[in-house]
Every structure is written in C-alpha cells, then in structure tokens.
Amino acid sequence: MQRREALFLLACIPFFTACAIIPISKTSPPPSPSPSAGGGKVVNSVTVTRAQFLMGTLVEITAVASSDAVAQASLTAGFQEIRRLENLLSTWIETSELSRVNQAAGLKPVAVSAETFDLLRRALEVAEYTEGGFNIAIGPAVRLWNIPEAPRIPAASELEMAAQYVDYRRIHLDPTRRTVFLEKPGMRIDIGGIGKGFAAEKAAAVMREIGATGGLVGVAGDLRTFGRRADGTAWPIGIQHPREAGKILATLDATDEAVSTSGDYERYFMQDGVRYHHILDPKTLQPARLCQSVTIIAPDATTTDALATGVFVMGPVRGLALAERLGLGAVIVDAGGGISISSHARNRVKLSP
Ligand code: AMP
Ligand code: MG
C-alpha cells in the first residue's frame, strides 16, 4: 500500500501541451522518526510536495528535509530556479537569450550566459551521438506542425522549404567569445527536447544547496531524483504505458538519477487513423515513426531528456545499440508495442503484468 501511495505516475494526456507527472499521494506526513539516507541512523524528516505550471507544463517537486521550513524553502527555490531558466531559455518569451539568438539568425553572433552556452554545447553533443536524431535546429519544422495547438499536416512544399534550415552543423558556438551564431536567416533553435531536463537538473541542485536531503523534480516527462525518501527508500518511478492511458508499463526505483520519457502520446492529433505527434524525424520532418515511447535512465536529466528524444527518432535497433555503447538504462517501446530494455536497466526495471 505504501508503495502504491508513493508511486509516481507518468500520466500523459492527449492534446495537452505536455506530459504530466501525478503523484498518487500528495499529503505531507508530519515530522516522524525515520531512517536517514545514510542507513540506520534515525532522524526527523518532513516530506512536502507542490505543483506549479511552468515551462508550459505541470512541474511537480517533492522535498525531504529535516524540518518543514527547510523542505518548504527548498521547494520554493526549486520552482524559482525553473522560472529563472524559463525566462533565460524559452523561445516563447521574446526577451529570452535563445529568442535573441533566433532573432539574430543569419545576421550576427549573440553573446549568451555560460548556462545557455553549456546547454547548447550539450545539445550539439547529443546530436552527434544520435547521428542527428536529436536536433535543436528543428525549430522551423516544429513551428509548421505546431502540435497540438493548430493540428494540420503541413504541405510538402512547406516542409521542403523548412528543410533548408534544420542543419544543426550550422549552429556555431564560439567558446572564446561565448557566442552563438545561426548561419542562415530562417534558422530557429528549439530546446523543447532538452530544456525540461536541464531545468529539472538545476532545480535539484538548488534544492540540495538549501538543505533538502532528498527530492524529486518532475518537469512533464523528465524526472530528477536525489537522496532518498523520508523512510530511507529510493524513489519509485512509473513509466506510462504509451497506449493505455493511466496504465503503468513498468516501474523502477531511482536515487541520484534522472529518468526521462519521450512518447508519441504526449502531444498528438489523429487524422485518417494516423497519429501525428510532436517528435519529428529531422531527415523527413515528419513525426518519427519507429517508437511509441523511449525512457532513458542516467545520472543527469539534461542527458536523459535529450537522449530520450534522440533515441525515439533513431528507433529501437540503433537506439538500443547507442544505449549499450553509452552504458545507459533504456526502455524502448517500438512501433508495434514490443519492449526492449538495455542491459544496464534489465535487472531493475519491472514490467507490469
Ligand atoms: P521530448 O518531449 O523531450 O521528447 O521533446 C519533444 C519536443 O522537442 C518537441 O515538442 C519539439 O519542441 C522538440 N523536438 C521535436 N523533434 C525533435 C528532434 N528530432 N530533436 C530535438 N528536438 C525535437
Ligand atoms: Mg527530451
């Protein structure tokens, strides 16, 4: 029962802007003696959970700390950190650094903060790992599809036009000047596939600094855990079944790790029996067709977010090979519903009956 209460369900609602994470129990138990993360030692721990709408999605944070004041302060700091990063990075906010980079496409390099530079550097690294499956230059195509706000299949001519602008090798990072230059006018960076994980990662770090001993930061389908729960156990995570809303496909326990899921059920529309969803194959600019969902498990959420999206595009065969090469946990549901689990995750991921 306790396990069920604490299970986090990655419940994804079609036509909503993103995947939500819904803790089954939101109650904060009063301070109670419990074993510490160190094992055995009894300390007073308080657990507090709060949710806010940020980055266009539901952000839910749980903090475990020695007092209610510290737990509350770490939650507040975690949300503030995500809001700060949204203002820095969101391409929906015209004054953000990344919007300024996009506005200067083809014109001039733009100086950015170390954080933005680091995020872009990581994004381009993952583009190489995933053989271009993960591609933050996908912006013009994302705009054309505009899923799910204005569901419509773009004309072939529109996609052909957009194809000129989605080459990530034309994103130039200058580490000396810390500038970003998009070579062609019309290019547009989209960080939808990596930004939420980056934010979850940074929020967890801030919460730790404030004094939380354990926590779980969920930004849509991107989760970052640290430390342990108040009872000393790891964080139970549920992976949403891609075709049965509300059903858990598999569970795992995580500590000091991130778990990201990308799925074709998060944002999509159906037309003539075909599912059109938000993860695009940069080669065709059509929704990627080889997977229903991909979950990646690794130490940091920036990596898991970007790789979940990139492996989704690569498909089960090349994607699993990449996960094995990088030593990552991966749970891949292919287009036919078949499940593959990387050797790194096989012993710890429990498939639901
Ligand atoms: P995620 O939910 O993390 O898989 O990210 C999906 C979001 O990333 C989409 O809504 C787009 O904003 C963006 N995106 C779509 N296709 C790609 C791609 N191939 N590479 C990188 N980002 C993408
Ligand atoms: Mg992603």
Please say if the pLDDT value at position 167 is more than 90: yes
- Does residue 108 surpass a pLDDT of 90? yes
Per-residue model confidence (pLDDT) at position 147: 79
Ligand 1, atom 23: closest residue by C-alpha = 193
Positive or negative, the CA dihedral 326, 20, 250, 216 is positive
275, two tokens = 């599912």
What pLDDT is attached to residue 210? 98
CA 313/CA 318 separation, integer angstroms: 10
Residue type, 205: A
- Of 190, 289, 293, the one to substitute when testing ligand 1's pocket (max ligand atoms within 8 A of C-beta) is 190
Instruction: Please give the number of the atom of ligand 1 that sits closest to the Cα of 194.
Output: 3
Cis peptide before 299 (omega within 30 of 0): no
Q: Give the per-residue pLDDT at 150.
A: 75
- Cα-Cα-Cα-Cα torsion 13, 265, 267, 256, nearest 10 degrees, comes to 80
Torsional sign, CA 139, 144, 146, 149 = positive
Distance 279 CA to ligand 1 centre (A): 5
Ligand nearest to the CA of 221: 1
For residue 169, pLDDT over 90 is answered with yes
Atom of ligand 1 nearest to the CA of 267: 10
Residue 189: nearest ligand to its CA?
1
- Residue 192 CA to ligand 2 center (angstroms) comes to 7
Lowest mean pLDDT among 108-117, 147-156, 296-305: 147-156
Share of the chain above pLDDT 90, in %: 86
Per-residue model confidence (pLDDT) at position 1: 31
pLDDT value at 148 more than 80: no
Instruction: Give 142 Cα–ligand 1 centroid separation in angstroms.
Output: 8
Q: Which tens digit of pLDDT belongs to each residue from 288-316?
A: 999 999 999 999 999 999 999 999 999 99
The C-alpha atoms of residue 189 and residue 101 are separated, in whole angstroms, by: 8
Residue nearest atom 5 in ligand 1 by C-alpha distance? 193
Among 280, 294, 311, 314, name the best residue to mutate to test ligand 1's pocket (greatest count of ligand atoms within 8 A of Cβ).
280
What token pair was written down for 190?
């989209």
Q: Which residues surround ligand 2, an ion (CB under 5 A)?
A: 193, 305, 308-309
The pLDDT assigned to 43 comes to 62
- Here the tokens at position 102 are 């996009």
Query: Which residues have CB under 6 Å of ligand 1?
Result: 134-136, 138, 142, 190, 192-193, 221, 262, 266, 278-280, 282, 305, 308-309, 313
Whether pLDDT at 39 is above 70: no
Per-residue burial over 263-272, b if 16 or more Cβ lie within 10 Å, else e, is bbbbbbbeee
**Average pLDDT, integer, range 222-242:** 97
**Is residue 37 predicted with pLDDT exceeding 70?**
no
Q: Which ligand is nearest to the CA of 312?
A: 1
* Ligand 1 atom nearest residue 197's Cα: 3
The predicted model gives 316-335 an average pLDDT of 98
Angle at alpha carbon of residue 39, lines to 251 and 216, rounded to 5°: 40
Instruction: Give per-residue pLDDT as tens, 43-82.
Output: 679 999 999 999 999 999 999 999 999 999 999 999 999 9
Q: What angle do CA 305, 202, 88 make, to 5 degrees?
A: 90
**Cα 312 to averaged position of ligand 1 atoms, centre (Å):** 10
Give pLDDT tens digits for 178-202: 999 999 999 999 999 999 999 999 9
| Contact (CB, 8 A) for 172 and 180 | yes
CA distance 177 to 169: 19
Res 149: pLDDT: 76
- Block residue for tokens 């990646």: 296
- Residue 137: which pLDDT band, with cuts at 50, 70 and 90? very high
Ligand nearest to the CA of 127: 1
Q: In what order do the strands lie in the sheet with 179-182?
A: 110-111, 179-182, 171-174
How sure is the predictor about 21, in pLDDT bands with cuts at 50, 70 and 90?
Answer: very low
Mean pLDDT computed over 338-353: 97
